[in-house]
């Protein structure tokens, strides 16, 4: 059976981890996979997480299953972080949360759920997007199509083209939207543009699936949730996939959530029963360590503010690194060419570097980024900024 199997290429993002590790260049820089790194190039365990872990060792009494929807305390404390304290959606008990193994696991729950309810639905996805969106839809057997997001000529958000495309989507289809910190571009919609998107969703009765993996990395924890709250409060049905990988630094613990906002409590309970079956047939029960950490932090009067400070520190460091890169490119006459990097939000920048330039950066300088030119802004530091700028200037000048 195995003899005829073809060998597949490495994942466009995760494949870079292995290639980077093998590279012997002492100056190498990893701008590939989306993980936060500090000035020392380390992805630290947050102090709030360390303290929650210490508490868990004394508090945890069992390793028994936690059930298909996960830890109830995790849901209880995560929902207000997403919808806001005093949210009408929560007061009306319209939202059901199913804990998932990471944001990816939550997206897979979403795709399987959609397939289960109506396999004829198409999911409309921004062009460009995180490549795994397509892979997840394919794995779930869901059709997908694209709407434009970035103008390939100017490498800027093309909102008129996006809106015009949304207006053509067949009634009732699903639209995947990045709630903040668009991956890979870093171009987010402003509040007026979100209002216009909401109007199209209402008019065409489209069902939004909000990928919410970077809460806290754009403008702040509350600010980044603005679009999620707008849509949840103004539409009868919304799906959200949240991740705690980035804002809690819990990447390998695989902790995220699928949230279905429904018309009313009775529909929510029916949807919830379906989600239990979807989770059961995927992995039965989610892993418990990540949810226990998040619940411990958010539920603690001491750890919650400490965690908020730590998220803010990560967010502002990334924002500073954006400015620093554009400034660092100034002596090379490239600050205008790359001015958009300072305007984008979140961990990623769609730099505008072309595949051949990306490939030269990798081969000649040991600088790794996704072939599309997406760079992880948290991947460089003040220490190697000059090297990065000189390398970018070199590949741009010899283009
Ligand atoms: C990324 O986009 O780099 C992250 O979301 C990690 C991943 O799983 O691809």
> Could you tell me the CATH number of the domain that includes residue 36?
3.90.1150.10
Cα–Cα distance for residue pair 267/227, rounded to 1 Å: 23
The average pLDDT across 274-280 equals 98
Instruction: Check whether residue 40 and residue 159 sit in a common domain.
Output: no
What pLDDT was estimated at residue 259? 98
Span from the CA of 254 to the centroid of ligand 1 (angstroms): 12
374 in a domain, yes or no?
yes
What is the distance in A from the centroid of ligand 1 to the CA of 104? 9
Q: Do 78 and 146 fall within a single domain? A: yes
Of all residues in the chain, what percent are helix, strand and coil, respectively (each to 5)? 45, 15, 40
Mark whether 198 and 294 lie in a shared domain: yes
Q: Does 211 participate in catalysis according to the annotation?
A: yes
Which residue in 158, 173, 246, 345 is the catalytic one? Answer: 246
Residues 6+ apart with CB under 8 A from 378: 34, 35, 36, 37, 314, 317, 318, 321, 347
Domain assignment present for 305: no
Q: Which of 147, 145, 143 is nearest to 119 (CA)?
A: 143
- At residue 3, the pLDDT reads 95
* Nearest atom, ligand 1, residue 32 CA: 3
Locate the ligand 1 atom nearest the alpha carbon of residue 243 and give its number.
Answer: 5
Q: Of 298, 226, 264, 309, nearest to 46 (Cα)?
A: 309
pLDDT band, very low/low/confident/very high, at 256 (cuts 50, 70, 90): very high
Catalytic residue among 130, 188, 194, 224: 130
Q: What is the pLDDT of residue 165?
A: 98
To the query of whether residue 246 is one of the catalytic residues in this protein, the response is yes
Q: Can you read off the two tokens belonging to residue 80?
A: 């207000």
CA distance 298 to 300: 6
Number of domains in the chain: 2
178 closest CA partner among 215, 151, 144: 215
Query: Are 271 and 348 contained in the same domain?
Result: no
CB atoms within 10 A of CB 349: 29
Closest residue by Cα to atom 1, ligand 1, is 34
If one residue of 18, 33, 128, 213 were mutated to test the ligand 1 pocket, choosing by the most ligand atoms within 8 A of its CB, it would be: 33
243 lines ligand 1 (CB under 6 A): no
126 strand-pairing partners = 147
Within a domain: 199: yes
Q: What is the CATH number of the domain that holds 175?
A: 3.40.640.10
347 C-beta closer than 6 A to ligand 1: no
As a whole number, mean pLDDT of residues 85-113 equals 97
Cβ–Cβ < 8 Å for 381, 254: no
Average pLDDT over residues 76-92: 97
Instruction: Judge if 145 and 285 occupy the same domain.
Output: yes
Among 265, 298, 331, the domain-final residue is 298
pLDDT digits (tens, 9 = 90+) for 382-398: 999 999 999 999 999 86
Report the pLDDT averaged over residues 149-176: 96
> Among 211, 224, 307, 345, which one carries the catalytic annotation?
211
Position 375 confidence tier, pLDDT thresholds 50, 70, 90: very high
- 121 and 26, same structural domain? no
| pLDDT tens track for 338-348 | 999 999 999 99
* Residue bearing the CA closest to ligand 1, atom 6: 34
Q: Are residues 103 and 235 in the same domain?
A: yes
Same domain, 286 and 332: no
What domain range is 167 assigned to?
Answer: 65-298
Would the pLDDT of 399 be above 70?
no
Same-domain check for residues 256 and 368: no
* Ligand 1 center to 334 CA (angstroms): 28
- Considering the domain architecture, whether residues 250 and 190 belong to the same structural domain is answered as yes
138 has catalytic annotation: no
33 lines ligand 1 (CB under 6 A): yes
What's the whole-model pTM score? 0.97
340 with 243, same domain? no
The mean pLDDT of the chain is: 97
Closest CA to 209 of 140, 297, 298: 140
- Examine the domain organization and report whether 294 and 331 are in the same domain: no
Ligand 1 center to residue 161 CA distance, Å? 26
- Judge whether 307 lies within some domain: no
Share of the chain above pLDDT 90, in %: 98
What is the distance in A from the centroid of ligand 1 to the CA of 366? Answer: 20
């Amino acid at each position: 059976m195995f003899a005829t199997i073809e060998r597949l290429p490495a994942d466009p993002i995760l494949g870079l981890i292995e290639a980077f590790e093998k590279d012997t260049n002492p100056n190498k820089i990893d701008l590939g996979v989306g993980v936060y790194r500090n000035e020392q190039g380390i992805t630290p365990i947050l102090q709030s997480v360390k303290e929650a872990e210490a508490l868990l060792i004394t508090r945890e009494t069992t390793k028994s299953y936690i059930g298909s929807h996960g830890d109830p305390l995790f849901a209880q404390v995560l929902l207000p972080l997403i919808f806001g304290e005093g949210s009408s959606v929560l007061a009306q008990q319209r939202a059901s949360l199913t804990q998932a193994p990471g944001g990816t696991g939550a997206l897979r729950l979403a795709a399987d759920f959609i397939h289960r309810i109506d396999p004829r639905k198409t999911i409309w996805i921004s062009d460009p997007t995180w490549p795994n969106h397509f892979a997840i839809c394919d794995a779930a057997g869901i059709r997908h199509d694209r709407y434009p997001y970035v103008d390939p000529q100017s490498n800027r958000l093309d909102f008129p083209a996006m809106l015009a495309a949304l207006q053509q989507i067949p009634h009732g289809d699903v639209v995947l939207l990045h709630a903040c910190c668009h991956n890979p571009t870093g171009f987010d919609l402003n509040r007026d543009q979100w209002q216009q998107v909401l109007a199209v969703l209402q008019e065409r009765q489209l069902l939004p699936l909000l990928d919410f993996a970077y809460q806290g990395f754009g403008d702040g924890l509350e600010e980044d949730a603005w679009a999620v709250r707008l849509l949840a409060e103004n539409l009868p049905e919304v799906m959200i996939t949240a991740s705690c990988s980035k804002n809690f630094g819990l990447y390998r613990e695989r902790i995220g959530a699928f949230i279905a906002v429904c018309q009313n409590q009775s529909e929510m309970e029916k949807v919830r029963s379906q989600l239990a079956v979807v989770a059961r047939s995927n992995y039965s029960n989610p892993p418990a360590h990540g949810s226990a950490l998040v619940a411990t932090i958010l539920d603690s009067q001491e750890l919650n503010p400490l965690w908020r400070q730590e998220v803010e520190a990560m967010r502002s460091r990334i924002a500073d690194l954006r400015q620093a890169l554009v400034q660092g490119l100034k002596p090379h006459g490239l600050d205008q060419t790359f001015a958009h990097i300072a305007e984008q939000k979140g961990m990623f920048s769609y730099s505008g570097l072309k595949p051949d330039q990306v490939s030269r950066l990798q081969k000649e300088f040991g600088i790794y980024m996704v072939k599309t030119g997406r760079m992880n802004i948290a991947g460089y530091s003040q220490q190697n900024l000059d090297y990065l700028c000189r390398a970018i200037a070199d590949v741009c000048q010899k283009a």
